[in-house]
Chains A and B, each alone.
Chain A
Amino acid sequence: EIVLTQSPATLSLSPGERATLSCRASQTVSSYLAWYQQKPGQAPRLLIYDASSRATGIPARFSGSGSGTDFTLTISSLEPEDFAVYYCQQRSNWPLTFGGGTKVEIK
């Protein structure tokens, strides 16, 4: 099973700041990695797939990069609605797995 390790666990930032979230895989997943956003009491929302493709309707301030084992989700300028928990997920190998999440909180 591929283990995805997300860091940091919590990121404390102010609106307008840049957020950089990391996801590291225990073995290569090529570019088969997605990022999801989840707000309290809501279902997850797909943001990025195949490491760098934005899902439908996702603002351009969200971008993804990386391949192999190291991936990054960048939010260029945090909006109030971006404070949430973010998860990465790989679809390279069965079983599919999620990272433990990074909480982006208001500083």
Chain B
Amino acid sequence: EVQLLESGGGLVQPGGSLRLSCAASGFTFSSYAMTWVRQAPGKGLEWVSAISSGGGSAYYADSLKGRFTISRDNSRNTLYLQLNSLTAEDTAVYYCAKSMTTVTSYSDYWGQGTLVTVSS
């Protein structure tokens, strides 16, 4: 059974940093691209970032302006998202999701999300 378990969310002050993790199990992690999607309270889904199966290619939403960094450790079956220079607009539930293929595609399995709250 595919499982994705996000962690690392919490309350952070504006301008602060946070690192999110997503522990994967139930599939061959190194064979699939992975994605982060976020959802602000009461709002729609926003695609954030994706990384290829081997980690050699990463993609980001234009709106992030270089503040976020996606990475993965295939030996630990774990996906990461480093969030820097956080603002209130980054407050959201962050979901990690598995792509259908080795290259970024649609997301067929999702975690339950981790909440990031940016507030003073």
Binding site for B on A (CB under 8 A): 1, 34, 36, 38, 42-46, 49, 55-56, 85, 87, 89, 91, 94-101
Contact = CB atoms under 8 A, between A and B. Distances in A.
A95 B59 contact: yes
Contact of B107 (A42, A46, A56, A95): A46
B106 A97 contact: no
Contact of A101 (B44, B47, B111): B44
Size range of the interface on B? Answer: 20 to 34
B29 interface: no
11 contacts: A43-B110, A43-B112, A44-B45, A44-B95, A44-B110, A45-B110, A49-B100, A55-B108, A94-B59, A95-B60, A96-B50
Contact of B46 (A34, A46, A85, A98): A98
Residue among A55, A56, A94 with most chain B CB within 10 A: A94
B104 interface: yes
Contact of B104 (A34, A43, A87, A96): A96
Contacts of A36: 45
Nearest to B45: A98
